[in-house]
Chains A and B, each alone.
With several copies, the nearest count.
Chain A
Amino acid sequence: MANIPILRLEGYVIVSIQDDLSDQEAEDLQKRLLESLAVRTAHGVLIDVSGLEIVDSYFCRILRDTAAMAQLMGVGTCVTGLAPAVAVTLTELGLDLSMVHTEGNLDRGLEWLRGRD
């Protein structure tokens, strides 16, 4: 079925992940996201994970790497909607997402990105 859509709004690239992704699917999404930044400049990236019930070390790394690579392309990243249970689990796993800016929901994430411009 369908690839995860990559939206453009106000010059920001927005992705909303609402289903559990396999490692391969997560990697594909990362690739398409970074390609979309190369094709047309963007002012920021917003990754909404409010629909995700599980973020393990693999996906956490995908998030970190995506943000790091986008940064290299001059674009800031905001991750929104991390579920409380996911945040607790990441901490106990010993994984650190502090290098990625996070906000509670899409609206707040967009506000944060707008504020940086």
Chain B
Amino acid sequence: MPEIIIATNDDAAIVTSRGAVRELARSVGFGTVDQTKLATAVSEIVRNVVLYAKRGQVLFTICESNAGTRGIEVIIEDEGPGIQDLEIVLDGGYSTSGGFGRGISGARALVDEFNLESEPGQGTRVEMRKWL
């Protein structure tokens, strides 16, 4: 069961989401640098939802690895237009909005596990995990 669920429909949801996950990371025991990394990754992916899919949601869960390490799982999903060129987007530097094209590739670099599923016309789902 997720600790926190946030509807991501606007600008303000980006601020709320990154603030919430930062707090959660702090409470789980993450240091400042990892708190910042996770919160920044969330900021990038939630902004994509607001920008490209208009609405979606983000779920934060405290999780435990098989080895017993604690961590935070983030699931961000929308039912927007989906991503056409997944490979290119994952490589980074590609943007359809005049952005840096660093959102997805950057978020991927900031967490320990990153999973992106997207079906054109169906939506996008990003799963990220960071371990203590």
| CB pair B106 A86 closer than 8 Å | no
Chain B residues touching A, range:
20 to 34
Kindly state the separation between the CA atoms of A63 and B102 in the bound complex, as whole angstroms.
16
Which B residues are in CB contact (< 8 Å) with A18? none
| CB pair A93 B12 closer than 8 Å | no
Which A residues are in CB contact (< 8 Å) with B33? 84-85, 88-89
Stretch at the interface among A33-41, A43-51, A52-60, A102-110: A52-60
Which B residues are in CB contact (< 8 Å) with A55? 40
Contact residue among A20, A53, A57, A89 (Cβ-Cβ distance under 8 Å from B103): A57
Kindly state the separation between the CA atoms of A61 and B103 in the bound complex, as whole angstroms.
12
| CB pair A54 B109 closer than 8 Å | no
Chain A residues touching B, range:
20 to 34
Kindly state the separation between the CA atoms of A104 and B24 in the bound complex, as whole angstroms.
28
Most chain B C-beta atoms within 10 Å of own C-beta, residue among A54, A83, A86, A94: A54
| CB pair B40 A89 closer than 8 Å | yes
Q: Does B39 make an interface contact (CB < 8 A)?
A: yes
Which B residues are in CB contact (< 8 Å) with A98? none
Task: Give the shortest distance, in Å, between A90 (CB) and chain B (any CB).
Answer: 8
Stretch at the interface among B13-21, B58-66, B69-77, B80-88: B13-21
Q: Does B92 make an interface contact (CB < 8 A)?
A: yes
| CB-contacts of A62-104 with B (<8 A) | 83-86, 88-89, 92-95
Which B residues are in CB contact (< 8 Å) with A3? none
| CB pair A57 B22 closer than 8 Å | no
Contacts A20-B19, A54-B39, A85-B32 given; does A92 touch B110 at CB 8 Å? yes
Given contacts A22-B15, A23-B47, A94-B102, 14 further A-B contacts (CB under 8 A): A20-B15, A20-B19, A53-B22, A53-B39, A57-B102, A84-B32, A85-B37, A89-B36, A92-B106, A92-B109, A94-B100, A94-B106, A94-B109, A95-B102
5 inter-chain pairs at a CB distance below 8 angstroms, sorted by A residue, are A53-B39, A54-B22, A93-B40, A94-B106, A95-B102
Query: B residues touching A (Cβ–Cβ < 8 Å)?
Result: 11-12, 14-15, 18-19, 22, 32-33, 35-37, 39-40, 43-44, 47, 92, 99-100, 102-103, 105-107, 109-110
